[in-house]
Amino acid sequence: DAEITQSPRHKITETGRQVTLACHQTWNHNNMFWYRQDLGHGLRLIHYSYGVQDTNKGEVSDGYSVSRSNTEDLPLTLESAASSQTSVYFCASSEGPGQGVWTQYFGPGTRLTVL
Amino acid sequence: QKEVEQDPGPLSVPEGAIVSLNCTYSNSAFQYFMWYRQYSRKGPELLMYTYSSGNKEDGRFTAQVDKSSKYISLFIRDSQPSDSATYLCAISRQGGSEKLVFGKGMKLTVNP
């Protein structure tokens, strides 16, 4: 069955380290998204991509970067981890482009702690 | 003003109760309105969506949109313990192919 996976599921790192969170989907979806979820803030968009070589900044993109070299993967990199980036990170993908309700399918999440 | 506001709760109800979850939004350009359900330590999953104004019913769930007042609602009839989850409203201009703006989420507990 097609699916979307994230790795690692849990990560503890230290302030200042570079961290990369992986996201892989097997639906061949064009659109991929990264969100972070924090108590009191809900889900907030970090970066998104509408296809290979396309990346766009979301609401809370400072300190994060993404690159899209193929359809299946959108890794999220924290250039220099900060304690404020302790959060649960979700990757999602959807069909499109075009108008219509294309369901965004979410991965299981990565729980990141920055000490 | 945030683009979408949702009362974060939490909300606790007895089994069989009717539950009403609500969000308001600020920009009339939004046309697609979605409700996601998120179980503990899982990713959100799409529960229902509506386009423009009106109601949509799916079993015990009804989604309602009032564009004139920028108000969206999700009603759950005959609530069950299995409905215990966090419910997030989401809005977009072009549906799920475009970036979504989420409410903060309402944690619902249905007590047997």
Q: Which of A41, A90, A100 sits opposite B104 (nearest CB)?
A: A41
Find, among B35, B43, B54, the residue nearest to A33 by Cα. B43
Asked if residues A77 and A68 have their Cβ atoms less than 8 Å apart, the reply is: no
Tokens of B99: 């970036």
Find, among B34, B33, B42, the residue nearest to A4 by Cα. B42
> H or E element: which one contains B65?
strand B61-66
Polymer length in residues for chain B: 112
Contact with chain A for residue B35, Cβ under 8 A: no
d(CA B60, CA A53): 43
Q: What is the tens place of the pLDDT at every residue in A96-111?
A: 765 555 688 999 999 9
pLDDT band at B27 (very low <50, low <70, confident <90, very high): confident
Tokens of A47: 């970066």
Asked if B98's CB is within 8 angstroms of A101's CB, the reply is no
Distance from CA of A91 to the nearest CA of B (A): 9
Q: What is the tens place of the pLDDT at every residue in B68-112?
A: 899 999 999 999 999 999 999 999 887 656 778 999 999 999 999
